[in-house]
Structure 1
């Protein structure tokens, strides 16, 4: 959300306000002409930013807080940090929070992104504040004092504009990775997301400092990985850079284990790691699907057995479920994501049922969403083998069509779909709550999965009576 002109003018009457960070970088990328290398001014100013960060110089923080208070809600993220959270008052609309900061100096006192002495000073020049940024493409400020001129007034002391034109990720200074080791993973994320290269000296610095990624919390690593998986069309670019730089073995030793594992035989052109990251590129842009694609063959290095003319990986789906759970738990993913990804990894080798009965049982095991996700995972898996054919795609399409036809008949797939429930069973047969009731319901579900036409109360109760003699 951009601040309205009246707020910009109010601040500029006492100080100077700039847009900083990713919004300036993305304005440039959005408006840069590939033919001339120039900026299309109309596109530059019309860029639809989701988040905008501002920097204010030459204005004391108390005056800034007081001035902003006329227009919205002001909250200090920390007076010592010089960062204000501002939410504009907009009638009948839920406004987003905007970060407005004062220039600050950060002095490292140890490893980690919190080991700093921070001092903000409204009189610091904007160029000095930009010097604490991570990469040159993010170290550009936009002076918004006179936006009517339409010609962007960029403050670019580190030549970030040229690096954007050259599609390069370059560190602002040699200290950036020691100051916050997460920036090494962020460089790979940006390279994948923008399809940029990492500048040579910057990449050397990442390789040199790769072990420092161990000092970063798993939650922060997860957030950066998620951005790579969800915002990049080809996350494999960043994952390859992680492997080449040494970050992969520090964060995902389980994935590193597949780098040199070949898959001889007629199905796979690539080694396990390369196949896995190509699968991510082909998977739909959802976190669960891309994590499942990344991890679906995670156990292959441990399950590999070579024979003359090929190799097999029996049990890698089952062991992969266990490894995927451990890896995702280590990175503090939610229980819901872990269970969904683990299910997809466990079932990714599913066979195509040849009958409606088999299709119903597959849906009962993984759910309607789960079975469609498995189809998309199989599609990504096949395309990433490097030897997939149009026939493989057609076979998946036919399977999906048959599946949809079965689902549209609305047969029962779960216990909740039965025409009887636990209360009815307990009342009819004078049972108390307990495991016996659950066992009866599960057997009834088996009964109607094979014969959905029998999902009628009287038929189910007859079957329950018969079952109670054996349950």
Structure 2
């Protein structure tokens, strides 16, 4: 409100525009706020001396008090930024990425006419918090109500102006659950090849938003239906129509989509791994029909994913995590054949911090194969064993003192008596964790030093074993295993 008022008080027009208007009309809280005005960037900077103008598109960043939803203060930030952009009309896009030059317009109508989709081409004239005027020249409100993505004016022109709009349309389809209007859809198909002009960094940003959306599989599938996928991720496109074997009811591509759809994790790396875990199956397939094989598709797939995500400019951290998950997604586990030693090897190989994500990938893989139960008994049993072996063993290492303390403070000679005293202390700490204090333990150790510890040590052993059994029972009940 204050930004708009200040601009208007200087004799200029000011409107709220873009995605924030769409969000407001959809009864959602906008994450960002954008304004459009007939004031030039230089005039905007004059109105807001603390603002910054560091681009060629007529957009000035105006600093405002921090806000979280509905302008509540956010103490964690010094300021937020509202983008104020001069009305503009854009000239020819020779590289399909950006206008050759930006020309400032005089009217709001000219500005709204150059926007991508009708739902984003609505402006608000705010008079007060309760009173505002909607400027909707292209029936964007109707499209929002009907959940429709429709290009402003001629769809071919819009996509030829800025090819990134192709992935934006698909991303909105995935994020908002809106359908793409037929003429806009046909224009997407016709102009799909233009996506090759867009920088990989920008494509990556759109892909991330699709994968993290509420309908990620629908977004990826729309990329395939419009012909965009073969230009962005040809490795995934190669699985279209390729059958698997008797263990699968879906084609390779369909299985990858379904795995993404059913992925239980919201982490980007796990969702990417779910989408790409079988990326090497088309090239490793041997034979036809129900007995086809895909030997080493996990390891070969990891190499493909590393190269592919690198091409799309993902960070090394994300690439390494996705590669690790894809490379190990075929891990074998059967409660009757695999014991604690093998589970320790798995933890050592992938890292304890990655085990949960690997299990989530396995669940996605299973559900993506049409299996009704994503977490069968053997997977729950694996979780049980992982928790069991990853927990610190119940031992005297838990105590706040050790044998060296006893020898130093109690002048005890090295020998079995030290171990006996520590075992008794451990048994007592198991009963009462509050006793695990160095000073208290030393006092108690001095008392025990004069006693016959053989019987006490036997009691300590019994208490320690009892605690181990209790912990194991609790972990088993947690994971519903026997």
Is TM-score (shorter-chain normalized) higher than 0.5? yes
3-state SS of 1:233 partner:
coil
3-state SS of 2:51 partner:
strand
Distance in 1 between residues matched to 2:356 and 2:164, nearest whole Å: 35
Q: What TM-score comes out, normalization by structure 1 length?
A: 0.77
Distance in 1 between residues matched to 2:357 and 2:23, nearest whole Å: 32
Equivalent residue in structure 2 for 1:363, among 344, 347, 351? 347
Distance in 2 between residues matched to 1:320 and 1:147, nearest whole Å: 55
Distance in 1 between residues matched to 2:303 and 2:42, nearest whole Å: 54
Equivalent residue in structure 2 for 1:7, among 3, 6, 9? 3
Distance in 2 between residues matched to 1:308 and 1:22, nearest whole Å: 49
Residue-by-residue CA offset, 1:49-100 (whole Å, 9 max, x unaligned) = 221111123x34433222222xxx211123x532101222569642122211
For structure 1, which segment, 190-199 or 300-309, has the greater mean C-alpha deviation from structure 2 after superposition?
300-309
Is contact 2:123–2:135 with CA below 8 Å preserved after alignment?
Answer: yes
Structure of higher CA gyration radius? 2
Equivalent residue in structure 2 for 1:145, among 104, 113, 127? 127
3-state SS of 1:108 partner:
coil
Is contact 1:113–1:179 with CA below 8 Å preserved after alignment?
Answer: yes
Is contact 2:306–2:323 with CA below 8 Å preserved after alignment?
Answer: yes
3-state SS of 1:116 partner:
coil
Residue-by-residue CA offset, 1:382-418 (whole Å, 9 max, x unaligned) = 111113336x43432232122112212269xxxxxxx
Give the superposition deviation at 1:335: 1.1
Q: What TM-score comes out, normalization by structure 2 length?
A: 0.75
Give the superposition deviation at 1:282: 2.0
Distance in 1 between residues matched to 2:102 and 2:3, nearest whole Å: 27
Is contact 1:81–1:120 with CA below 8 Å preserved after alignment?
Answer: no
Equivalent residue in structure 1 for 2:309, among 320, 328, 331? 328
Give the superposition deviation at 1:367: 0.6
3-state SS of 2:287 partner:
strand
Gap regions ≥5 residues in structure 2: 67-72, 395-482
3-state SS of 1:148 partner:
coil
3-state SS of 1:74 partner:
coil
Is contact 2:96–2:163 with CA below 8 Å preserved after alignment?
Answer: yes
Is contact 1:55–1:101 with CA below 8 Å preserved after alignment?
Answer: yes
Give the direction of change, closer, same or farther, for the CA distance of 1:202–1:307 in structure 2 (3 Å limit): closer
Gap regions ≥5 residues in structure 1: 32-46, 412-471
Give the superposition deviation at 1:178: 0.5
Query: Residue 347 of structure 1 aligns with which residue?
Result: 328
3-state SS of 1:19 partner:
strand
Is contact 1:74–1:86 with CA below 8 Å preserved after alignment?
Answer: yes
1:125 has 2:102 as partner: no
Distance in 2 between residues matched to 1:126 and 1:263, nearest whole Å: 55
Residue-by-residue CA offset, 1:166-200 (whole Å, 9 max, x unaligned) = 11111113211111111111111111111111111
Equivalent residue in structure 1 for 2:90, among 100, 103, 106? 106
3-state SS of 2:48 partner:
helix
Query: Residue 51 of structure 2 aligns with which residue?
Result: 74
Query: Residue 408 of structure 1 aligns with which residue?
Result: 391
3-state SS of 1:276 partner:
helix
Query: Residue 144 of structure 2 aligns with which residue?
Result: 164
Give the superposition deviation at 1:132: 1.1
Is contact 1:16–1:145 with CA below 8 Å preserved after alignment?
Answer: no
Query: Residue 463 of structure 1 aligns with which residue?
Result: none
Residue-by-residue CA offset, 1:311-363 (whole Å, 9 max, x unaligned) = 22111001101111111111111111111111111000001262111111111
